[in-house]
Amino acid sequence: MQWTQRLLILLVLALPAAAEDNSWYHEPPKAWGEEEEEREEAVVVPPLPDVRQLIALDSGFEGYRYFLDPGSLSIADHRTVRYAVVVESPNGVRNVLYEGIQCGSRQYKTYAYAAGEGPYQTTTAPEWKPIRGTTAFTYRRDLQEFYFCEGMTLRTNVDDIVRRIKYRTR
C-alpha cells in the first residue's frame, strides 16, 4: 500500500472523531431581527404623554399632526429607540402610540396604543415591520432617517435626539 493511500485511510478514520468535536463548526448567522428578538429588553410602557411637554414633528400627511413625548424616549439594548408619539387626525382625534425603531433593519414595532386620553392597550405579540414613508405614518421614516439614526447606526444619546427634534437640526 502506498503512503498516499495510507494517509487517506487515516484521514477517513479520523473523521468520526473530528465530527464529535464540533469546535470547528459554527452555526450560520441568523436573519436580521431573529437574534435581536431573543435579546430584546423587557418593555415597560411609560405613562401617557403630558401634552404640555410634547414636541411637534415636521412630518406631515394631509392634515395629520404628530408630536413626540420626550419623556418617553429611551434606548433599549443599544439597537432600539423607544418613544411615544401622539398622532392627531385632521378632525382632531388623537391617538398615542408607544413604539420602537431599529436603525439597522429600518423596522418599527408598536408595543402599545391609546385612544384619546388612554389608557394604553398593549399589543399582543408585536412584530417588527418595515418602515414605510408614504402613509399617515410617514413620521416613522422621518424619525428614523433624520433624528434617531445616523445611517444604519442608532444615535445613543437621548438628549441629543431631543435637541435635534426640538431645534430641527438633522
C-alpha cell at 27: 452555526
Structural domain boundaries enclosing 62: 35-166
pLDDT at 98 over 80: yes
Q: How far apart are CA 59 and CA 66, in angstroms?
A: 7
Predicted TM-score (pTM) of the model is 0.74
pLDDT at 121 over 80: yes
The total number of residues shown for the chain amounts to 170
C-alpha distances in Å from residue 84, one per residue of 20, 35, 37, 102, 123: 51, 25, 20, 15, 14
**Is 157 inside any structural domain?**
yes
Q: Indicate the number of domains in the chain.
A: 1
Look up the CATH number of the domain holding residue 102: 2.40.128
pLDDT digits (tens, 9 = 90+) for 11-56: 334 434 444 444 433 444 455 555 544 467 788 999 999 999 999 9
